[in-house]
Amino acid sequence: MSFQFTDTFVTIATVNLEKLVDFYIKFLGQRPSNYLTNIYAEFQLSGLKLGIFKPKQSHLSEFNESFKSSMSLCLEVNDLESVMVHLESLGHPPFGEITNADHGREIYAYDIDGNRIILHQSYR
């Protein structure tokens, strides 16, 4: 059996929906393309949708603060240093050293809920 996928999302669950949505508005420089106050926000990125949702009360234990997912949001950028400066202006702690790998340069950032954002710049 084969499946046809019509869309791809990365989702982040949070109990701090409004604060996290505000962080991504400032970080991405755009408003959500779909927004339900205190329930769900969706950002359209290049080839991907980022959904942020507040779990229902009956599912909160699945998303408690002691559990952190190994999933990361990876964003390809043209100018790594300018994105780092932008995040620091939003209150992100100073970054360490940029990692150089075979596929490019990258550094980890974290949103206000501690979700990892991998910032990657390909070698040109």
The vertex-90 CA angle with 89 and 95, nearest 5°, equals: 65
Query: By the 8 A CB rule, do 68 and 62 touch?
Result: no
Torsion angle (degrees, nearest 10) of CA 95, 97, 14, 58? -140
45: which strand partners?
Answer: 48
Summarize the confidence of residues 41-45 as an average pLDDT. Answer: 94
Convert the pLDDT of each residue in 88-111 to its tens digit.
Answer: 999 999 999 999 877 889 999 999
Query: By the 8 A CB rule, do 115 and 109 touch?
Result: no
60 pLDDT above the threshold of 90: no
pLDDT of residue 70: 64
pTM value?
0.75
SS3 call for 89: helix
CA–CA gap between residue 16 and residue 63 (Å, rounded)? 11
More confident site: 17 or 1: 17
Convert the pLDDT of each residue in 12-31 to its tens digit.
Answer: 988 889 999 999 999 999 99
13: which strand partners?
Answer: 53
Write down all domains in the chain, each with its CATH number in brackets. Answer: 1-57 (3.30.720.120), 70-124 (3.10.180.10)
